[in-house]
A and B are shown apart, each in its own frame.
Chain A
Amino acid sequence: TQLLEQSPQFLSIQEGENLTVYCNSSSVFSSLQWYRQEPGEGPVLLVTVVTGGEVKKLKRLTFQFGDARKDSSLHITAAQPGDTGLYLCAALAGGTSYGKLTFGQGTILTVHP
């Protein structure tokens, strides 16, 4: 069974601070995705990383995929209250794992004005 360990579980910060969320596994993944979920809604895809060592930027969000494709991080610069939500990392094992995303436990981020 492939497991994704996400940390921290909770983050409560002030507007303008920076933060990093980590997603680690002992397994190698063909790709890794980051989602954000708001209350009453389903997760929304933020980014997919495929290549080991890949770095992707989405405005104030920076995503990294580890060289060995076993871990990833999400860094938010100058967090804003609108960044509040549940952040989830997820991985597709590839091959015949059709449609099956394995999710981390999630990080609940609260950004206070």
Chain B
Amino acid sequence: KAGVTQTPRYLIKTRGQQVTLSCSPISGHRSVSWYQQTPGQGLQFLFEYFSETQRNKGNFPGRFSGRQFSNSRSEMNVSTLELGDSALYLCASSSAASGGAVDEQFFGPGTRLTVL
């Protein structure tokens, strides 16, 4: 089975621009979660999608948004980029078979976003 894939792997943008990151989950997985990883804050939860619906959201401003398609692929968008948005953005997929209590999340390699 192919793992979680994320594209692109690296991105350089300037302040004020917007960016879209893509995540393809493991085949059969219907849940996709997004995380931001920075040296200062560590890994922080952005949001989770299941069957095209956002079920959970972290404490990030409205500039961060996402969506999920019928094939479970997901995208996240960051508008009006700020320097502080520079980070590794990770997505993780899960089968969500048990309802979430102990479901294993499989992480992709991440997209490294640099905002200049």
Contacts and interface: CB of A to CB of B under 8 A. Distances in A.
Given A43-B107, A45-B104, A100 B33 contact: yes
Given A43-B107, A104-B42, A106-B42, A98 B102 contact: no
A94 interface: yes
B55 A103 contact: no
B109 A99 contact: no
A92 B102 contact: yes
Nearest to B44: A103
Interface string B83-116: 0000000101010100011111111111000000
B76 interface: no
Interface string B9-52: 00000000000000000000001110100000011110011100
Contact of B101 (A30, A101, A104, A105): A30
Q: What secondary structure prevails in chain B residues at the interface with A?
A: strand
Interface in A92-113: 92, 94, 96-106
A88 B101 contact: no
Q: How large is the interface on B (under 10, 10 to 19, 20 to 34, 35 or more residues)?
A: 20 to 34
A103 B50 CA distance: 21
Given A33-B104, A96-B55, 20 more contacts: A42-B4, A42-B109, A43-B90, A44-B107, A45-B104, A45-B105, A90-B43, A98-B31, A98-B48, A98-B100, A99-B55, A99-B94, A100-B45, A100-B48, A101-B35, A101-B105, A103-B35, A103-B43, A105-B42, A106-B42
Across chains A and B, which 3 residue pairs bring their CB atoms closest together, nearest first? A42-B107, A99-B48, A99-B33
